[in-house]
């Protein structure tokens, strides 16, 4: 089923049946359950910290990490209320859902591709291809849409190359070193924590921070429950999240490394070696970078129309919970 058809079905269900009418906990001290889609990537680091350190619990929240499905399935789960929070990279499907009236919004920023930072996302070449792209790159591992494809396009453009001229393939992270070494794949776009391992099987060629400095790689999106019906629950979630960001920004302390290693399933040594993405202290969103992305997505045919800042972002949530900046 296509992304657009899936979204239409989800929105139809909302109109027909309404949103979940679970009891409103605002008047009592009942622990509030919050379901969050989760993947074993470093970009989820602050959320791992918030749960491991009990920051969510101290806000009266019982946060459940739910293994993320495919992009469109996770988005539908957010629209229908099966999950409350969708963290992760931006996708055209999310912005298209907002344009169609879905009760979802960006609540806060997550990782940023910061200029001058280490390489969280890059393209690795197989042995035998030099950094001038000789011989020609025939195929590359990347996604079909979303932030990954956009940033890959920008990275390749910096070398006068077009993604449209290459075959795009899907390969699991764990298989990338093997397929690069046996030369069945020419190049791979990959994020941490896999990037550090994959780069040892080939050559790290292009880095995202050079192509799209300041790009808002990922965001926290809320569904209708935390945006409207239980807004205080959403505020509690973000207060815990900001406490975790403050701890994350202390860097690769023994405690932070241990939490992220456990959350990603990596060793302590690999977790410490990997590049950790940048999180700003106040979680505000770099909208201009998102605007650039959606204009590209519309030109590529991934979106019918773009959305405005006011349509896509509820900035009042971060304004009410982020630490004051001096």
Question: Could you tell me the sign of the dihedral formed by the alpha carbons of 263, 268, 269, 275, in that order?
Answer: positive
Q: Does the structure show a pLDDT above 70 at 17?
A: no
pLDDT interval class at 134 (50, 70, 90): confident
pLDDT interval class at 22 (50, 70, 90): very low
Same-domain status, 104 and 234: yes
Q: Does the structure show a pLDDT above 60 at 133?
A: yes
Number of structural domains (the chain) is 2
Nearest CA to 11 out of 66, 78, 106, 67 is that of: 78
Same-domain status, 137 and 202: yes
Q: Quick one: what percent of the chain has pLDDT higher than 90?
A: 81
pLDDT at 29: 57
Q: Does the structure show a pLDDT above 50 at 12?
A: no
Q: Which residues pair with 111 in a beta bridge?
A: 279
Domain that residue 167 falls in: 121-211
Of 11-15, 69-73, 140-144, which gets the smallest average pLDDT? 11-15
Is 312 a domain residue? yes
Nearest CA to 285 out of 147, 110, 95, 114 is that of: 110
Q: Name the CA dihedral angle for 8, 10, 12, 14, rounded to a multiple of 10 degrees.
A: -150
Same-domain status, 231 and 300: yes
Is 26 a domain residue? no
Residue 175: CB atoms within 10 Å: 14
Tens-place pLDDT, residues 257-304? 999 999 999 999 999 999 999 999 999 999 999 999 999 999 999 999
Q: Does the structure show a pLDDT above 80 at 69?
A: no
Same-domain status, 174 and 223: no
Is 16 a domain residue? no
Which of residues 187, 211, 235 is at a domain's end? 211
Which of residues 161, 180, 211 is at a domain's end? 211
| Alpha-carbon separation of residue 325 from 62, 288, 321 (angstroms) | 29, 21, 12
Same-domain status, 42 and 155: no
Tens-place pLDDT, residues 258-268? 999 999 999 99
Same-domain status, 205 and 303: no
Same-domain status, 103 and 140: no
Same-domain status, 107 and 234: yes
Same-domain status, 207 and 226: no
pLDDT at 9: 47
CATH number at residue 79: 3.40.190.10
pLDDT interval class at 1 (50, 70, 90): very low
The arrangement of strands across the sheet holding 121-125 comes to 167-169, 139-141, 187-191, 121-125, 203-207
Mean model confidence pLDDT for the chain: 89
pTM for this one? 0.88
Chain CA centroid to CA 255, Å: 23
Same-domain status, 103 and 225: yes
Residue 164: CB atoms within 10 Å: 9
Longest dimension (CA), the chain: 66
């Amino acid at each position: 089923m296509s992304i657009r058809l899936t979204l239409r079905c989800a929105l139809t269900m909302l109109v027909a049946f309404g949103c979940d009418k679970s009891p409103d906990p605002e008047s009592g001290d009942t622990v509030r359950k919050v379901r969050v889609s989760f993947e074993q990537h470093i970009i989820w680091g602050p959320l791992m910290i918030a749960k491991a350190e009990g920051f969510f619990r101290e806000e009266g929240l019982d946060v459940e990490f739910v293994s993320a499905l495919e992009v469109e399935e996770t988005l539908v789960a957010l629209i229908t209320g099966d999950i409350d929070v969708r963290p992760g990279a931006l996708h055209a499907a999310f912005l298209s859902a907002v344009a169609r009236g879905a009760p979802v919004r960006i609540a806060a920023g997550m990782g940023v591709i910061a200029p001058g930072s280490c390489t969280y996302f890059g393209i690795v070449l197989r042995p035998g291809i030099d950094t001038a792209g000789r011989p020609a790159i025939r195929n590359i591992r990347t996604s079909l849409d979303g932030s990954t494809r956009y940033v890959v396009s920008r990275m390749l453009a910096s070398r006068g190359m077009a993604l449209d001229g290459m075959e795009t393939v899907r390969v699991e992270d764990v298989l990338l070193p093997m397929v690069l070494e046996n030369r069945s794949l020419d190049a791979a776009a990959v994020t941490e924590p896999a990037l550090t391992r994959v780069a040892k099987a080939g050559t790290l060629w292009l880095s995202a921070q050079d192509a799209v400095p300041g790009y808002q790689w990922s965001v926290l999106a809320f569904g209708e429950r935390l945006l409207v019906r239980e807004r205080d629950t959403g505020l509690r979630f973000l207060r815990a999240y900001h406490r975790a960001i403050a701890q994350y920004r202390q860097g690769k302390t023994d405690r932070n490394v241990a939490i992220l290693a456990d959350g990603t399933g990596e060793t302590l040594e690999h977790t410490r070696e990997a590049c950790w993405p940048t999180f700003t202290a106040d979680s505000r969103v770099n909208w201009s970078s998102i605007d650039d992305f959606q204009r590209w997505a519309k030109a590529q045919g991934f979106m019918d129309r773009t959305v405005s800042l006011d349509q896509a972002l509820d900035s009042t949530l971060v304004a009410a919970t982020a630490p004051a900046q001096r």
